[in-house]
Chain A
Amino acid sequence: MRTRWVLAGTTALLYVVGSVVDLLVERASGWYAGGLRELLTFAPVVLASFAVGWLLVLRRAGGAIGWLLLANWLVLVSFGFASTYAGYSYSPTSHGDLPGARLAAIWDTHGWPLLFAPFLLVLLLLPNGTLLSRRWRWVVVLGVLSFSATTLSGVLGGERLDRPFEDVPSFDVLPAPVHAVLGLGLPGMTITVVLAATSLVLRYRRSDAVVRRQLKWIALAGCLLPVAILSSTFLDKTPDSSGLATWLPFVLLFMALPASIGVAVLRYRLWDVDRVVAATVAYAAVTALLAAAFVAVILVGGVLLGGGSPITTAAATLAVALAFRPVRATVQGRVERSLNPRRWSGEQLVDAFLADLRAGRREPEEVADTLARAVGDDDLRVYYWLPAQDSHADADGHLVADLPASPTARTPVRRGELHLGTVVHRPSVRRDLEHLLMRAGLAVEIARLRVEVRRQLAEVERSRARIVTAALDERRRLERDLHDGAQQQLVAIGLDLRHLQAGLEDDSPVRHQLDDSVQRLGSAIRELRELARGVRPATLDAGLGPALSELAGRAPVRTVLDVTDERFARDVETAAYFVVSEALANALKHARPALIEVLADRVEGRLVVVVTDDGPGGALAAPGSGLAGMGDRVAALGGTLTVDSPPAGGTRVRAELPCA
Chain B
Amino acid sequence: MRVVVAEDQVLLRDGLARLFRDAGHEVVGLAGDADEARSAVAESVPDLLVADIRMPPTHTEEGLEVARWVREQHPGVGVLMLSQHVYGGVVDLVSGRGFGYLLKDRVLDVADFLDAAQRVAAGGSALDPDLVATLVRRDDDALDRLSAREREVLGLMAEGLTNAGIAARLVLTERTVESHTRAVFMKLDLHGDGDGHRRVQAVLSYLRAQ
User: Interface residues, chain A, CB within 8 Å of chain B?
Assistant: 480, 483-484, 487-492, 494-496, 498-499, 502, 518, 521-522, 525-526, 529, 532-533, 537-539, 541-542, 546, 549-550, 553-554, 556-559
Contact = CB atoms under 8 A, between A and B. Distances in A.
Contact of A499 (B22, B59, B135): B22
Interface in B50-86: 54, 59-61, 84-86
Given A488-B104, A492-B15, A495-B16, A558 B84 contact: no
Identify which of A483, A490, A498, A539 gathers the most chain B CB atoms within 10 Å of its CB: A498
A490 B12 CA distance: 9
Interface of B: 9, 11-12, 15-16, 18-19, 22, 54, 59-61, 84-89, 103-105, 107-110, 134-135, 137-139
A494 B84 CA distance: 14
Contact of B107 (A480, A487, A491, A558): A491
Contact of B135 (A525, A526, A539, A553): A553
Contacts of B18: 495, 499
B19 A499 contact: yes
A538 B85 CA distance: 7
26 contacts: A480-B59, A483-B84, A484-B59, A490-B105, A491-B108, A492-B12, A495-B12, A495-B15, A495-B16, A495-B19, A498-B108, A498-B110, A522-B105, A525-B105, A529-B85, A532-B84, A538-B85, A539-B85, A539-B88, A541-B60, A541-B61, A546-B89, A550-B86, A550-B88, A553-B88, A554-B134
Nearest to A554: B134
A553 B18 CA distance: 36
A546 B131 CA distance: 12
B139 A558 contact: yes
A549 B84 contact: no
Given A484-B59, A529-B85, A495 B105 contact: no
A498 B105 CA distance: 12
Contacts of B110: 498
A489 B10 CA distance: 10
Nearest to B104: A491
Contacts of B54: 483-484
A443 to B, nearest CB: 56
Contact of A539 (B15, B19, B22, B87): B87
Nearest to A523: B105
A210 to B, nearest CB: 71
Contacts of A499: 15, 18-19, 22
Contacts of B15: 491-492, 494-496, 499
Nearest to B19: A495
Contacts of A480: 59
Contacts of B105: 487, 490-491, 494, 521-522, 525-526
